[in-house]
Amino acid sequence: MRAWILEKHAKIEERPLKLVEVPTPHAQEGEIRVKILVCGVCRTDIHIAEGDLPLRKCPVILGHEIVGIVDEVGENVRRFKLGDRAGIYWLYNSCKKCKYCLSHRENYCPDIKSTGWDEDGGYAEYITISEEYSLPLSDVHLEPSEIAPLMCPGIAGYAAFKLTETQTGDKLGLYGFGPTAYFVLKVAQSMGIETYVSTRSTKNIGGAKKAGANWAADASRERIPCKLDSVIIFPPAGNLVEPALSQLEKGGILVMAPVNASPIVIENYSENLWGHSIRTLFNLRRSDAEEFFETINRLQLKAGATLFPFEETQDALLLAKQGKLEQPNAVIKIAG
Ligand SMILES: NC(=O)c1ccc[n+]([C@@H]2O[C@H](COP(=O)([O-])OP(=O)(O)OC[C@H]3O[C@@H](n4cnc5c(N)ncnc54)[C@H](OP(=O)(O)O)[C@@H]3O)[C@@H](O)[C@H]2O)c1
Ligand SMILES: [Zn+2]
Ligand SMILES: [Zn+2]
């Protein structure tokens, strides 16, 4: 099969991926093989390619927003049959034996495997995966290119949202309005939760207003008009933590979504931290993905994507890095 491989770190501008012929994988017992139709581009792919995250496998095929068709099933596969539509996201596998896996908290498994990092991902024509870690998508009434961006920002946003414990009638703050925050806003809205968005760029402020935020501006310039029940911070900006905490009601929860962050300083414990909780989003659970896709079907949620042919995968990564995409997301069309 054809696949884009990464052999060593380099800036996206230097086009670090190579399009090569590699052996097509076959489904082993309990596995399905998916013929990949589309794969979305995520900022994490850029972080892996450029060396912000180490190479865990070399060479590696990046990509973890995969939608395709099951075209081979191994022995004892029960959840999928040939021709079914399947999705694969960041959680590729976990040990199934540790205390976390046994209590449905596989996001903390010490042996967790990530798609397109520990194992080959979706910038290729085929992928194999344990059927238990693949999402059945045959009942999702969207085009594959509309589903792909849901596979990472959608599921991660939903997982962060769940950590906030926000209820109908509450007020939720979102700091940074990228693709992930967009999905959180839509899910929150559907539950009758008010949303207050702080983001710097006029483009994102406009995007938040258009998406229906109750308030959107840059909170470092314009004060959020009320206290909030919970807040999610999306960018890796530690300096946002204390201002966000200062905005919380007593009992309020702050969720940090990023995988890394600049230093966090909380100067005023009594005013800003006391009576509040800080939680972090740490990988994803299968239940997050399954619940999110039930919500998708209910809300008919989707986000715009610019499509790129397989041969132009590196152009897609470059435009995503530069923030020059016409739509919020980039999706590579591989087959179909
Ligand atoms: N924890 C996990 O397991 C997990 C899993 C998946 C994803 N994630 C994380 O979830 C986040 C995904 O969100 P995303 O991709 O939608 O976010 P993003 O693009 O990284 O950031 C969202 C917005 O935040 C604003 N921003 C960026 N840097 C900022 C700064 N220094 N100060 C203030 N605002 C800043 C930018 O908007 P403006 O220019 O308008 O300010 C940006 O568009 C990422 O941080 C990713 O690492 C975590
Ligand atoms: Zn991702
Ligand atoms: Zn485990």
Domain shared by 118 and 190, yes or no: no
Domain with 6, as residue range(s), is 2-142+302-333
Residues 135 and 30 in one domain: yes
In the prediction, which pLDDT does 300 show?
Answer: 80
Q: How far, in Å, CA of 45 to CA of 257, rounded?
A: 17
**Does 266 map to a domain?**
yes
Q: Who surrounds ion ligand 3 at CB < 5 A?
A: 94-95, 98, 101, 109
pLDDT value, residue 302? 81
Cα-flanking dihedrals φ and ψ of residue 254, to 5°? -105, 125
> Is 127 in contact with 4 (CB distance < 8 Å)?
no
Same domain, 169 and 239: yes
329 and 243 within one domain:
no
Same structural domain for residues 99 and 184?
no
In this structure, is residue 72 part of a structural domain? yes
Rg over alpha carbons for the chain, rounded to the nearest Å, is: 20
Q: Tell me, yes or no, whether 174 and 273 share the same domain.
A: yes
CATH code, domain carrying 36 = 3.90.180.10
Residue 325, ligand 1, Cβ within 6 A: no
Question: Secondary structure of the chain: what % helix, strand, coil (to 5)?
Answer: 30, 25, 45
* Ligand 1 atom closest to the CA of 155, numbered from 1: 6
Ligand 1 site, residue 162, Cβ cutoff 6 A: no
Q: Tell me the sheet residues that pair with 174.
A: 197, 232
The number of angstroms, rounded, from the C-alpha of 298 to the middle of its chain's C-alpha atoms is 20
Q: Are residues 230 and 112 in the same domain?
A: no
Work out whether strand 194-198 and strand 171-175 pair parallel, antiparallel, or are unpaired: parallel
Residue 285 lies in a domain: no
pTM assigned to the model: 0.92
Domain assignment present for 295: no
Tokens of 212: 């229906």
Q: What DSSP assignment string belongs to 99-128?
A: TTGGGT-GGG-TT-EEBTTTB--SSBSEEE
Please tell me whether residues 200 and 245 are part of one structural domain.
yes
| Residues 6 or more apart whose Cβ sits within 8 Å of residue 269 | none
Burial class (CB in 10 A: 0-12, 13-18, 19+), 83: exposed
Could you give the 3-state DSSP secondary structure of residue 308?
Answer: strand
CA dist., res. 46 & res. 42, Å (int): 7
43 lines ligand 1 (CB under 6 A): yes
Shared domain for 186 and 259, answered yes or no, is yes
pLDDT in tens, the chain (336 residues): 999 999 999 999 999 999 999 999 999 999 999 999 999 999 899 999 999 889 999 999 999 999 999 999 999 999 999 999 999 999 999 999 999 999 999 999 999 999 999 999 999 999 999 999 999 999 888 999 999 999 999 999 999 999 999 999 999 999 999 889 999 999 999 999 999 999 999 999 999 999 999 999 999 999 999 999 999 999 999 999 999 999 999 999 999 999 889 999 999 999 999 999 999 999 999 999 999 998 888 888 888 899 999 999 999 999 999 988 888 899 999 998
Domains contained in the chain, number: 2
What distance in Å separates the CA atoms of residue 22 and residue 27, rounded to the nearest whole number? 16
Q: How far is CA 34 from the centre of its chain?
A: 20
Of 333, 296, 239, nearest in space to 39 by CA:
333
Q: Would residue 20 count as lying in a domain?
A: yes
Q: Is 325 within a domain?
A: yes
Which ligand has its closest atom nearest to the C-alpha of 44? 2
Please indicate whether residue 259, judged by its CB atom, sits closer than 6 Å to ligand 1: yes
For residue 221, give the ligand nearest its CA: 1
**Directed axis angle between helix 153-164 and helix 179-190, to 10°?**
50
Whether residue 169 lies inside any domain: the answer is yes
CA-nearest of 161, 153, 202 to 179 is: 153
Q: Which residue type occupies 177?
A: F
Say if residue 160 is in the same domain as residue 269. Answer: yes
Domain assignment of residue 288, yes or no: no
CA contacts within 13 A on the Cβ side of 45 = 36
Closest CA to 334 of 313, 305, 306, 304: 313
Same domain, 159 and 138: no
* Domain identity same for 137 and 165: no
**Residue written as token pair 């800036």:** 11
Residue 289, ligand 1, Cβ within 6 A: no
